[in-house]
Amino acid sequence: MSQWSDDRFLDGLRQSGDPLADAAVARLRDEGGSRAVGQAFRVLQGNSTPLPPDAPPALKTFMSEAAGLPTDVSLERLQAGGQAFLRNALPSVVVLLASSLPRGYAAPCLTEILSISGDLARHPYERLMGVVQLLVDVSDGHAFADGGRAIVTAKKLRLLHAGIRVLTDQYRPQFRAAYGVPVNHEDMLATIMAFSYLLVDGIGRLGLTLPRSEAEDLYYVWHTFARLMGIHPPDRPEDASLVPANLSEAAEFYTAYVRRTNTSAARNPAGVALTTANLAMMQRLLPPVARAFGAGLAPRLFMTELLTCEELARVGFTPLPGHALLKSMVTMVLRIGQWAGERDALVDKLAHLIMQGMVAVDRRGEVEFSVPFSRLDLHGPAFE
């Protein structure tokens, strides 16, 4: 058994936050009170846009002092990992929606925070666009260059997570006693697994092929992003020992995480509500004509294919039986998309443009982070 199955080690991750980001938020509160914090976090809503010139000094100081890309990172592997994701963009988005998100919703330590804002359940499509934007930002070939999208996004997310810790203490005062530090290292790692290990695992569950080297490169992108997110020992940003090094370690960690955090649907109503809203959103994404001809069952079908009976039960669902013809049709579409991606270099750019286009059309390019930090939250009593 390695550290990734060791409860004592994982307990340590659960009690670890982000002292540097928390100190920046504390400075904001000291200098301008809670209202200043609320005003400052409106500045942080865009995923990768730089801070404006009039941003509070505490935020500017954090952005300049927070570590950038570790010196041991391979830019070539980051480039390869981004391309591997874009070649598998279609099945990856399907896996994200029908597997990664529902599997995450089975953990009350995550859903308690996500449900602070009703926006996640009421407006899941808007939140999805924030996730898509994050995938676009991190998979871009130049995202990890100095001042690149991944660097800026990670630093701003660290500040937002510090804000979420403030919100959690305000709206969920019992959270720390039950689950540890809000947005702790263990939960952050599990969330990053949704974009990396669970994507690779889900592509395999769909019966699609992904060469091991490409899968490891895809994971490497998010391994690097996790380090940028401050998941490292205190004052040692070059130390990667707190992030699973490869897919095997990631699988061991996620198995332990499920054992430690997942519970039944009856004990996690927020997870059931979030999964139900996510399913409804997937169905609305389908064209009306497709729904009229029975394709509206496709999201449930994908959930059945991608989740075990036990995983479905944790979020209040049961398998969808039958529909072999529909299953073969949707699987064929995914295989054709993957086949094209493997043979046409232009598909990388096309997938990037389509995903970015989804965001631009829906939000006019003004995308907010996929965190429970809505305008409603920012006007709530925690920041008044």
The amino acid at residue 89 is A
140 confidence band (pLDDT: 50, 70, 90) = confident
**% of the chain with per-residue pLDDT over 70:** 74
365-381 pLDDT per residue, tens: 444 443 333 333 333 43
pTM, two decimal places: 0.85
Confidence of residue 342 (pLDDT cuts 50, 70, 90): low
22-31, 259-268, 357-366: which range is least confident on average? 357-366
Instruction: Identify the pLDDT of residue 331.
Output: 64
Higher pLDDT, 114 or 71: 71
The type of residue at 98 is A
When pLDDT is cut at 50, 70 and 90, the band that residue 144 belongs to is very high
Q: Residue 361 — very low, low, confident or very high, per pLDDT cuts 50/70/90?
A: very low
Q: Using H for helix, E for strand and C for coil, what is the string for the chain?
A: CCHHHCHHHHHHHHCCCCHHHHHHHHHHHHHHHHHHHHHHHHHCCECCCCCCCCCCHHHHHHHHHCCCCCCCCCHHHHHHHHHHHHHCHHHHHHHHHHHHHHHHCCCHHHHHHHCCCCHHHHCHHHHHHHHHHHHHHHHCCCCCCCCCHHHHHHHHHHHHHHHHHHHHHHHCCCHHHHHCCCCCHHHHHHHHHHHCHHHHHHHHHCCCCCCHHHHHHHHHHHHHHHHHCCCCCCCCCCCCCCCCCCHHHHHHHHHHHHHHHCCCHHHCHHHHHHHHHHHHHHHHHCCHHHHHCCHHHHHHHHHHHHCCHHHHHHCCCCCCCCCHHHHHHHHHHHHHHHHHHHHCCHHHHHHHHHHHHHHHHHHCCCCECCCCCCHHHHCCHHHC
Average pLDDT, the chain: 81
Is the pLDDT score of 128 beyond 80?
no
Q: Map out the domains of the chain as residue ranges.
A: 3-17+74-144+183-366
Handedness of CA 21, 23, 26, 31 (dihedral sign): negative
Question: Which pLDDT band, with edges at 50, 70 and 90, does 360 fall under?
Answer: very low
User: Which of residues 337 and 160 earns the better pLDDT score?
Assistant: 160
